[in-house]
Each structure stands twice: as structure tokens, then as C-alpha cells.
Structure 1
């Protein structure tokens, strides 16, 4: 019998990523479902001061409402020249409309006068797993790199087209899906959860 694991997201790419990671890890007996596949419930706004605060709040709410073990994440980009911003505001940096393109363009505008050598940035992902017995596991993945001034690539979303990971010449949006899964901030965070996800499949 398969255990349902709720990913507290409606983002199809996040759900696909979680399914790929679980499959590659050889975890059996776990079926990933998203928010669109469970009865609706009132979702609290993301008001935490840190990625971890938001991830835990989302996972707790969803686990309590559905009775399912739940994974939730909060992620964003931290730009050195912007004192770590957009940070937790990454998804709504250009306003509540949450347009990836508008967010990306605003960041580029804000670093327009910053020298290339000071365009360091990192993607950060905090991921929380809340189990039905109340156990909470919170992990963090960090993906360091550098911003570029013109978007490149289509295999990504958010700030991927302007982020070149350390050791790479391609942007995150130019990487193959498999490459990105293995080294991205979300991939790094989720890999830390694998032992706990494996135990779900053993139940």
C-alpha cells in the first residue's frame, strides 16, 4: 500500500521535481500529491521572516488540514549587492502580481550599476517535512553562483535565466533538468530529507 506524501504546492515543476528525486532514490511506496489533489483548505499567507519560518508554517497547515505527511518549501534568491534581498520576498519582489519576468527585470535594474565582480548571489531553499505524529524536520539547501545581466535559457523559472552556478558557464535555465535536480538548492535540500522520505515508504 502506498503512502501519500503531500507537497504543499500547486507548482507543477516542483511536483515533478519531487517525483523525479524520489524515483531516482529508489524509494518505493510513496505517492506524491499536490494541493490541487486534496480537498481545499484555508492557506495562511507567507509572512515569516526566514525561509524556514515560511516552510514550516506551510507544512504544518497542510498536514493538519489533510492528515497527510507534508513537505513544503520556501525558496528564493539572495543577492550580495542587495544585502541578501530579495530573499523571502523573491516571489513578489516586483509586487503582489508575482510575475517571474517582472521580478527578474527589477533585480537586473537594481544591480545595473554594480560591477560584475560584485554580482555574487545564491539560491536558498528551506524545506520542511511534517509527519502525522507531529515530527518536524527542517533542512536548508544553498546554491552559490553569480548573476548575469541578460537572461539566457528556457529550462527553468523564476530567476534561473540570470543565475550562473559556481563552476558553470551556463545559467540555471540552460542546464538540463537532470543536471539541475542534482545540484540545485531545492535538490540539495530534498536530498537531506531522503532518509525520512524513505522511512515513509517502509511504513
Structure 2
């Protein structure tokens, strides 16, 4: 049996509708016209969008974000993705940890930021960036791949810019050498594992929050 173009589109539309209904049955509606389907790039309004996880139906206690946004340079982060997320959440009545925008704009680049939720209905957000500061400062770092310093202008493996002039990680660069891929991989591995005590701490607090909420709901049901 051969599928016509129209029948194939109908099957694709039904499958997409099924997925959307499983996620948010009341918030999504796919048009009946199989010839038209609107698609929106999430980066148009917010380059790092956490709104879906802030909805009440998700009951999120802890959100871990990996911010791959393009910043001005390695010494100047404006943290606009955080600010945009906070403002958008406020406009739409969604819970978002309290942040000090004026202070955040002038905050020095950091590998890891914590935005702790208030009460039991607001999630805590752990925000990781591509900041290469503490990783770059490690002396005599031994990479996980064979490394020849001559391919990195004679610099150590962990000494490389992510955003500044000379970077190998521009937004529209879609192909990377093994070296450049491994540098970014080991950078993020370091940024996450070096913060593991904080991650475990906030996971514990999130579990406690979830238990309190379930106990409160159980009391209301009795």
C-alpha cells in the first residue's frame, strides 16, 4: 500500500496532535488544515526558554538550565536570557525565583548561578553557562584526548575563548574539529562536576519541598 502525499501529511498531523495532547491537552491546538502548520523558533522571544517547566501542571521543584547563549565576550555577560525568562514569567503569572536585575546585569561572568525558589510552589533554578574561568585557571590540566599545543597557538588545552575574538564557537559555525568539540565538552564537564555539592544540596531541598506539598495535599483530602 502506497501513501499519497495528502494521507502522509494527515498521519503526521494526527501523530503531532497526539503528542501535543499528551503534553498539554488544553494549551495546544493543531489546525485542521493539513496544508498549514505554524512553527515558531523558540529563540525569537527567548533564547533560553524555561516557561514550559514553570507551568503549574509540570509541578517542577528544580530546573537545571544549560545556557548556550552567545554573549558579548568572555569578560562581559549581560545574563539577558535569565532576565527575559524572569520578566516573561512575571507577565504570564508564572512562578520564578526573585532576581535583582540591576545587579545581575553587572554580575561578573560565572559558570554557575543559583536562583532559589520562594515557598513550595516556586522552583529553584540552577543556571549553567559556557564561562571558561575556573577551568582555564587549572594548571597542568591533562585533557582526555591526545593533545598537541601547537594547534592551540602554543596554549594549554584549557586556555581558549568561548565568546571573545579568536573563538572557534560562533553561532553559525556548524562543524567543529575534534579538538574544539573536546574543549567545549571538557569545559562543561568541569563546570558541572565542580558544582556537584551545590546540585546535590538543591536536589535534596527539592525532594523535601515535594514531600511537604504531598503531605499538605493528603491532609486536605482527609
- TM-score, scaled to structure 2: 0.30
Q: Select the structure of larger CA radius of gyration.
A: 2
Higher strand share: 1
- TM-score, scaled to structure 1: 0.32
